[in-house]
Amino acid sequence: MSSPVLPVVVLDDATQAVPLGEALLAGGIDSVEITLRTAAGLEGIRRARAVPGLRVGAGSVLTPAHVDQVVEAGAEFIVCPGLSTAVVSRAREHGVDILPGVATASEVMAAVALGLDEVKLFPAGLLGGPAYIEALSAPFPGMRFVPSGGVSAATLADYLAVPSVRTASGSWMVARDLLARADWARITELSAQALDL
């Protein structure tokens, strides 16, 4: 990931993808993870790809078939809650970046064995937050971690202060209630505030 903040979006209405992407860009965030947690996710990825300058990824990717679907929809990167060799392999077949999830040192070792140098740490807050990442980073000096799950405006700076963390993902700036109200101005404001942190 290149941006310090990666919004994790759960779309209930695919038509919101374009104004959402524009609102994020207006706040300075140029990447978004649209999850497959709802029926609108796949179409949301397709629509968001129409926003110039926005890098669109797919989240909650669980199977090789999901990889095929999101790549066809235009996803530029893939995020998974866990580590699946089959999913990593399929993403590589498509030439798409993948960010699999890990929670333990054993899973990080499996990621290293697959040649990965960046993983999602999930659920970061429940696992121990920044202190856990600091401890986990020690035996894996070449690994970068993207904390997800429990990251908020209040904790973002603490996560980004960890040397092995360049990006943190969260959903507070794209919360479902903001999407339901189509409050694009507030999403832009929260995005800009996140980058200021």
Other C-beta atoms within 10 Å of 138: how many?
9
Distance between start and end Cα atoms, the chain: 17
Tokens standing for 167? Answer: 């990006």
Q: From the candidates 72, 120, 134, 189, give the one annotated as an active-site residue.
A: 120
Evaluate whether 60 touches 37 at the Cβ level (below 8 Å): yes
β-strands 101-102, 118-121: how paired? parallel
Query: Does 72 qualify as catalytic in the annotation?
Result: no
d(CA 25, CA 21): 6
What's phi and psi for 177, nearest 5 deg? Answer: -70, -35
Beta-bridge partner residues of 59: 35
Q: From the candidates 22, 33, 76, 134, give the one annotated as an active-site residue.
A: 33
Query: Does 33 qualify as catalytic in the annotation?
Result: yes
Closest CA to 74 of 103, 104, 96: 96
d(CA 66, CA 87): 9
**What's at 86, amino acid-wise?**
A
d(CA 120, CA 122): 6
Catalytic residues: 33, 120
